[in-house]
Structure 1
């Protein structure tokens, strides 16, 4: 991945910047306060590292890059437009600062202060592994990593089972309680509604019986009505059959009321109360029956946890033995290659005017790369006690040894600040080497780094805002001379600059 074009508009320092950087070493210089750091901040915003500091920041990106869910095209267009708030676009699709950072972070290395992982044991082990040519070593590493991922999965399962075991007695008791409670009531679907209707009729029993007796008495009197109609030779169609049907219905209902009277009202009310308790707890009889089956399944699962626990523990123990053996094989190969890494790092340490770099390979608990821990120090000084200058120069040495085919973009903010001339020149030489695999952007205040640049950009302050241009050879000579002698360019400074560019 590399930047092909960069456009910046309406930033605190620039009205407009439009540049085409080199794929190699790009150096930015200029007087203090001209806007170099503002430009660098815009670069960081492009990758979601900092907030946008301009109205428009736009870049065309070439090379290989995984855009995740965004359209994969030959050239990638990144845009940040800012009015009230910043809006992010990737190939003209809306995105966010967070997503920019997630997508671009694998391709960006920022060397400003102690914010990196290049000096971590894991990173150094990966660099060490690249120096081992044995194919069996890399096959062993892949086999180990696959097994380690499996081990982590098993350990997570075991952890879950342990948590469940802590509460297993309570869980079992609760499941049994619910099963017994529901089974004891033994509800039937539709039973509750039937009992409610039964209860309603039971509450009306006495009144219905009284009305039935009165109705039957009234029907007895209807015989004289029928006799009268016959005597008067009057015909009322269906009258007699209606009377007979009414009597039959009333007598049938009386029989039902007599049967109803044989039921125990207390039992019906108790049954309704039991069913109602299930409905209140579970939402309905069907839900209660579903809960019953669910708890039965859970109870079986709880009873098999001990068996599962034992089985998983055996798998873990067996896998651990295998991984320990693989890690020993990895350690043996790494010990053989360690001296090569030390020699290569120290070859760059000489250029960078660092004291002797020392590495120590020791045993550690199993991790993704094996059971090794690789520590680094300069003489007796550990990483945490190094100055920022030493720390970043040591990082450069590691990156130079690693020497990836496509390293991405390397960003350095005043990497040569507070360094001596010799130290600064050593940094310049290492960065020139790194620029064969990284696209490098570096702000510099010293004359050595600009002399190795593929493109040297000058940030120059104007009356209102600054401008940024790529210098030709004559411009580079003058800018390098300015870095040496200040605003008054001395013949000695100009001669030195000319010689530096001829190297």
Structure 2
């Protein structure tokens, strides 16, 4: 839910702060006052591209800040936290602060919870927070892709599962086709490739390298290069620890004598010191054994010249092939596998063709299941939308949804077409070519009403920009009533010129021209009657318009 939006220097708006609430909010005002700028500000918060031409003249940047209220266990809260946002959570709800700066020159900046983030993050989060419907979205409903998306959303979890299954099969079939096409392309230069692969395998087999051999040789050569120095050092250490056995006592013997001397003394602390000396003697004798073993282990049969020769051979192979030894071993293994294929190309081609046929059969099977699920969802969606149209002053009109089988493609094996019949005596024709703007806006609202009840992933906030365009009178009242019904399940914000729609709102915000800049304020009681009267007649002072406005408010209250 949108909780609050603050705007600075956006178009005709100098500064504005708008608090939103659950339910239905109507945004009204004279044409050109700046209502569209409010939607522009929401778009910026939701990751829309920035337009520096919207920066208010005489200022250096647009600043839009918003706070969204979401469940603490929601995907939005998790993604915001993953992006590094600093969030406040209380009683299962989390506030997600979002900000956008658009300079007059240069790139815009996006902030989430005080942390700078890419615009794509706002776009990802915004798509799950708010659905914005304007004239462009109504036109988009005429497209086949938008109609398919609406049907799949209405199908809920069952359609989502069938579509996921189909998509997996589609990817598997595409991989099988790609393998077959690559093999056929390889066949054209198979002779030259066989020579190159054979040369690679022979070069590697001649040297017989082992994974990690280069690094192992390096350490062995370094050890042999310094073996005399190591032997001398170990001998000195052993002599210091054990002595020469005759004239010179070693550290271990001296520690033993120290322990014996201290053991007979009565001085406080002498016994403890003696025990420490005895323990040190034990450690020293253990060191004698370890150092002696290291000295004995220095003897080796390895020949330093042979190791250098082997290292030179590996380096020569690496230089010849233009790759490291470990990489060469891997490439040789792959070359052997390809040579095995080239030895019997017809068998390999048959295997790949069989894989294509198998994956295609699987794809068609899953596509048929998806078609059945979509067909059932289409019938249910059409029935429910027609029920809504009856309440939107389109009772004689109805839609139907054709789901036609086609050849497999990425989104399924179906061509979905929304059909529209404005009257029982008229023929059904595609919605894309028949519905007027007013009819299309009401059909779109009807679909959203149905999806808000049935679709699992519908965003919690809807914003409608002049959804009442091209309608009036009773049709406008019907739109207002159904927007109020949608607001029972979601937060709804509507920009409207019609008092018949605005009167159904729980809250009304007026955008009006001021002396220097546009002003944005909430209205209630008598101020709201005044605004509705202005919308009805163009003048807020006419008694008849004020009475009509008051009647609309009373009628909407009773209608709830």
* TM-score, normalised relative to structure 1: 0.70
Offset of residue 289 of structure 1: 6.7
Cα deviations by residue, 1:256-281 (Å, 9 ceiling, x for unpaired): xxxxxxxxxxxxxxxxxxxxx99987
SS at match of 1:48: coil
Residue range with higher mean Cα deviation, 471-480 or 111-120: 111-120
Task: Quote the residue 2:307 is aligned against.
Answer: none
For residue 459 of structure 1, report the CA deviation from its aligned partner. 1.1
Conserved 8 A contact 1:148-1:367: no
Contact 2:177 2:356 in 1 (8 A): no
Residue from 45, 50, 63 that aligns with 1:56: 63
Distance 2:514 2:162 in 1: 60
Matched, 1:98 2:105: no
Query: CA 1:413–1:161 in structure 2 vs 1: closer, same or farther (change >3 Å)?
Result: same
RCO comparison, higher one (Cα < 8 Å, 6+):
1
Mapping 1:235-274, distance limit 5 Å: none
Cα distance, 1:305 vs structure 2: 3.8
CA distance in 2, matches of 1:285, 1:357: 70
Give CA-to-partner distance per residue, 1:17-36, whole Å, 9 cap, x none.
11211222111111222221
Q: Is the contact made by 1:360 and 1:375 (CA closer than 8 Å) also made in structure 2?
A: yes
Residues 332, 419 of structure 1: alpha-carbon distance in 2 compared, 3 angstrom cutoff:
closer
**What pairs up with 1:225-374 in 2 under 5 angstroms?**
282-283=321-322, 290=329, 294-301=334-341, 305-306=348-349, 308-313=351-356, 315-316=358-359, 318-320=361-363, 322-323=365-366, 326-327=369-370, 330=373, 333-334=376-377, 338=379, 341-354=381-394, 355-365=396-406, 373-374=415-416
Pick one of 524, 531, 540 that aligns with 1:472: 524
Partner of 2:254: none
Report the CA distance between 1:61 and its aligned residue. Answer: 0.3
Distance 2:176 2:523 in 1: 64
Using a 3 Å threshold, how does the CA distance of structure 1 residues 28 and 330 change in structure 2: closer, same or farther? closer
Two-structure CA RMSD over aligned residues (Å): 3.6
The one-character-per-residue Cα deviations of 1:465-502 (angstroms, maximum 9, x if unpaired) are 12111112111100000111223521110111111111
Q: Would you say the 8 A contact 1:144–1:370 is kept in 2?
A: no
Partner SS, residue 439 of structure 2: helix
CA distance 1:367–1:426, change in 2 (3 Å): farther
Count the aligned residue pairs.
Answer: 407
Structure 1 gap segments, 5+ residues each: 131-137, 191-276
Query: In the alignment, which residue of structure 2 is the partner of 1:483?
Result: 535
Contact 2:141–2:444 (CA under 8 A) maintained in structure 1 = yes
Picking from 83, 86, 89, the partner of 2:111 is 89
Matched, 1:500 2:541: no
Contact 1:414 1:443 in 2 (8 A): yes
Listed as ranges, the matches of 1:62-461 within 5 Å are 62-64=69-71, 65-67=74-76, 68=79, 69-70=82-83, 71=85, 74-83=94-103, 84=105, 85-115=107-137, 120-126=146-152, 129=155, 144-145=162-163, 147-181=165-199, 282-283=321-322, 290=329, 294-301=334-341, 305-306=348-349, 308-313=351-356, 315-316=358-359, 318-320=361-363, 322-323=365-366, 326-327=369-370, 330=373, 333-334=376-377, 338=379, 341-354=381-394, 355-365=396-406, 373-379=415-421, 380-385=428-433, 386-404=435-453, 407-461=459-513
- TM-aligned CA distance change 1:498 to 1:146, over 3 Å: closer
Deviations 1:37-81 (A, max 9, x none): 122211211112242646221111012453423246511000112
Structure 2: gaps spanning 5 or more residues: 55-60, 210-315, 422-427, 556-560
Aligned to 1:214: none
State the shift of 1:378 in Å: 2.2
Rounded Cα–Cα distance in structure 2 between residues aligned with 1:488 and 1:325: 60
C-alpha displacement at 1:142, in angstroms?
A: 6.6
CA distance in 1, matches of 2:324, 2:147: 61
CA distance in 2, matches of 1:493, 1:390: 28
1:367/1:279 Cα in 2 relative to 1: closer, same or farther (>3 Å)? closer
- Could you report, residue by residue, the CA deviation over 1:81-114 in whole angstroms, capped at 9, with x for unpaired residues? 2344421100111113333122212333222124
Q: Is 2:504–2:553's contact at 8 Å kept on the other side of the alignment? A: yes
Helix, strand or coil at the partner of 2:127: helix
Distance in 1 (alpha carbons) for counterparts of 2:323 and 2:478: 80
For residues 91 and 431 of structure 1, what CA distance do their matches in structure 2 show?
A: 32
Is the CA contact (8 Å cut-off) linking 2:531 and 2:540 kept in structure 1?
no
- 3-state DSSP class of the match of 1:154? helix
Please give the alpha-carbon distance, in whole angstroms, between the structure 1 residues aligned to 2:360 and 2:18.
60
